[in-house]
Amino acid sequence: MKTECFDVIIVGTGASGLTVALELAKSRSEQNTKIALISKGPILDGSTLYAQGGIAAVLDEDNDSIDFHVKDTINAGAGLCHEDSVNFTIEHSKAAIQWVIDKGVKFSKEEDNYHLTREGGHSQRRVIHADDATGKALSEGLVAQVKRHPDITLFEHHMAVDLIISPSSHSQKKEGQCIGIYLLNTQNNQVTEVPAKFTVLATGGASKVYLYTSNPDTSTGDGIAMAWRAGCRIANMEFNQFHPTCLFHPKAKSFLITEALRGEGAKLKLPDGTAFMHKFDEREELAPRDIVAQAIDYEMKRTGSDFVYLDITHKSPEFIIAHFPTIYKRCLTFGIDITSEPIPVVPAAHYTCGGIMTNLDAQTDIPNLYAIGETAFTGLHGANRMASNSLLECLVFGKAAADKIKSELTYYDCMPELPPWDDSRVTGSEEGVVITHNWDELRRFMWNYVGIVRKNKRLLLAKQRIRLLQREIDDYYRQYIINSDLIELRNLATVAELIIDSAMRRKESRGLHYTLDYPYKDDQTFLNDTILVPHNY
Ligand code: FAD
Ligand code: SIN
């Protein structure tokens, strides 16, 4: 089955997908652009919805500057940030925030000025926010605009399965360009071919590859896995960021406690009340995340404790409730009153710094295929993303992608024929347990063997396990009718292998990649990206 042809398919409805959709659909006086916007669940899902801290940007020009923000980003990135990408992103930060405000999103104010908070790695207050629920305000504001726009056709509960790449004999302008996607309707399990002149992957990160994560269920690395299978290079997958402070409670499914608490002076403490960050970094609680997460991991292992505490009780209850209403209310449901007692916290997988390689126009290695947001690797974050730079990246690169696509749209037509989805040789499965078992096993060994602190031996064990799982999953994929769980498991396994392979190559410790076998930085050999090249590149 085939749908009509779209000018642009956008896979993902987080900050990056919504931005590119609105920028493309912007002007009703220009020729209409037919856009398909796809989310595998409801439109309001994905990491963007859960973002707490805010968006970093140079807004207080009396005390801050582009140079300061650039310098802080590069410092956090531990030598691997691409300066062109850092400059490009931060130079566009003020305009990106103005664009969001113009779309009707309301940020917190103090008297007449926007309130700017601080997070780890930032030398200045520069994080604009909507209390402690910035992602909700941003998503709801942009979604309201998207729903009103007649050029955007929304496909909720639809999942991109794979990209369709033209065989060279069929290509119009260039060989092997992206000409659409296979799309699974997750409510009736039917797959449709969707043709498009341009495809944008805005599918978010891959932190679900780990057992404990701050991310929602959508973060299964689908875009990275699809792009890899189609022939794109993937970079720096060893740098998965672990957020230092997620709520530790048996019933709290990885609820994040924003770094902005530490920005307002909250202290990390051992269960006996002793502060410890001064032993690890002179910036203490406001050191970049890699340092804070590694310090917590070290102290938990040293003391045998399951958690550490984060204590903001030095602030008045009025201040805490006004600045962190979501966290206050959520913790209270678990019996923790953060105005009078410390919060038990643990690190959890949070952000995928690596991803699909793109240029500053968000173009990937495959013609007419773009990648933006957490699924992309633009070089901005280096070996460790600075807090609140990711929503900014979604906004800036979303606009850059839209500008480039608009400039090329008239040169392309839709492909008349797409290779049809072939499910003639598969049957229904009665072995669903294979999916649930492998899903659990994969996330557990990734946590234990490829987590915050790594070792050659554990990486080797993980590599052996992932090879076995890949074989089982491939067999299953070839024999049975697909569903969303199988697609996600297949993608998670691909991403897990990319992470393991990248981590095995980096024989040093840098940023988010810390290994006991090579505990120091080696600038002579490893001051470069880890680039994995697929066989069909
Ligand atoms: P997402 O927002 O994750 O959206 C991904 C979209 O892709 C979803 O719509 C999903 O349905 C869709 N999708 C995925 N796969 C498929 C598929 N196969 N088919 C169809 N659709 C698919 N960053 C900051 O800068 N500041 C913060 O304060 C901040 N706080 C955070 C707090 C939390 C709890 C988390 C988890 C992250 C936070 N981050 C923050 C990181 C930031 O939120 C994310 O990096 C960013 O929102 C990613 O946006 P995105 O558009 O790339 O992807
Ligand atoms: C947080 O609020 O601590 C998360 C910010 C981020 O991940 O950028």
Angle (deg, nearest 10), helices 484-505 and 456-479: 150
For residue 416, what pLDDT is reported? 73
Q: State pLDDT tens for residues 185-218.
A: 999 999 999 999 999 999 999 999 999 999 999 9
Q: In sequence order, which residues have a C-beta less than 8 Å from that of residue 197 and are 6 or more positions away? A: 5, 6, 7, 8, 368, 409, 412, 413, 414
For the chain, percent of residues with pLDDT exceeding 70: 97
Q: Which amino acid, residue 306?
A: D
Q: State pLDDT tens for residues 128-143.
A: 999 999 999 999 999 9
pLDDT, mean of residues 315-328:
97
Cβ(246)–Cβ(255) below 8 Å: yes
Name the band, by pLDDT with cuts 50, 70 and 90, for residue 430. Answer: confident
Question: In the chain, which segments carry CATH 3.90.700.10?
Answer: 245-348
Q: Based on the number of CB atoms within 10 Å of its own CB, is 153 exposed (0-12), middle (13-18) or buried (19 or more)?
A: middle
Q: Which of 2-16, 87-101, 164-178 has the lowest mean pLDDT?
A: 164-178
- CATH says 432-523 is which class? mainly alpha
Question: In the chain, which segments carry CATH 3.50.50.60?
Answer: 6-51+133-238+353-408
Per-residue pLDDT at 364 exceeds 80: yes
Pocket of ligand 1 (CB under 6 A): 11-17, 38-41, 45-48, 50-55, 134-135, 159-160, 202-204, 214-215, 218-219, 222, 256, 351, 373-375, 388, 390-391, 394
Q: Which ligand is nearest to the CA of 391?
A: 1
For residue 139, what pLDDT is reported? 98
CATH of domain 6-51+133-238+353-408: 3.50.50.60
Name the band, by pLDDT with cuts 50, 70 and 90, for residue 172. Answer: very low
pLDDT, mean of residues 401-414:
91
Pocket-testing residue among 163, 390, 394, 490, ligand 1, by greatest number of atoms within 8 A of Cβ? 390
The tally of CA atoms less than 13 A away on the side-chain side of residue 531 is 14
For the chain, percent of residues with pLDDT exceeding 90: 89
Q: 172 or 55, which is more confident?
A: 55
Provide the token pair at 187. Answer: 């409510």
Per-residue pLDDT at 119 exceeds 80: yes
* pTM, rounded to two decimals: 0.96
Q: Residue 165's beta-bridge partner residues? A: 178
Strand order in the sheet with 127-128: 55-56, 127-128, 116-117
Position in ligand 2 atom list of the atom nearest CA 241: 7
Name the band, by pLDDT with cuts 50, 70 and 90, for residue 175. Answer: low
Residue 302 annotated among the catalytic residues of the structure: no
Angle, CA of 128, 206 and 483, to the nearest 5°: 125
pLDDT, mean of residues 254-264:
93
Question: Cα(16)–Cα(34) distance, rounded to whole angstroms?
Answer: 18
Cβ(482)–Cβ(161) below 8 Å: yes
Question: In the chain, which segments carry CATH 1.20.58.100?
Answer: 432-523
Note the CATH architecture for domain 245-348: Alpha-Beta Complex (3.90)
Pocket-testing residue among 203, 224, 495, ligand 1, by greatest number of atoms within 8 A of Cβ? 203
For residue 369, what pLDDT is reported? 98
For residue 173, what pLDDT is reported? 47
Question: Cα(301)–Cα(187) distance, rounded to whole angstroms?
Answer: 44
Q: In sequence order, which residues have a C-beta less than 8 Å from that of residue 72 and are 6 or more positions away? A: 121, 122, 123, 124, 386
Nearest CA to ligand 1 atom 38: 51
Per-residue pLDDT at 49 exceeds 70: yes
For residue 27, what pLDDT is reported? 63
One of 289, 330, 458, 510 is an active-site residue; which one? 289
Mean pLDDT rounded to a whole number for the chain? 94
Name the band, by pLDDT with cuts 50, 70 and 90, for residue 171. Answer: very low
pLDDT, mean of residues 304-324:
96
pLDDT, mean of residues 280-290:
94
Q: What is the 3-state secondary structure (H, E, C) of 368-403?
A: CEEECHHHEECCCCCCCCCCCHHHHHHHHHHHHHHH
Cβ(507)–Cβ(530) below 8 Å: no
Per-residue pLDDT at 174 exceeds 60: no
Angle, CA of 278, 283 and 286, to the nearest 5°: 105
Q: How far is the CA of 26 from the centre of ligand 2 (A)?
A: 29
pLDDT, mean of residues 9-21:
98
Per-residue pLDDT at 374 exceeds 90: yes
Q: 240 or 175, which is more confident?
A: 240
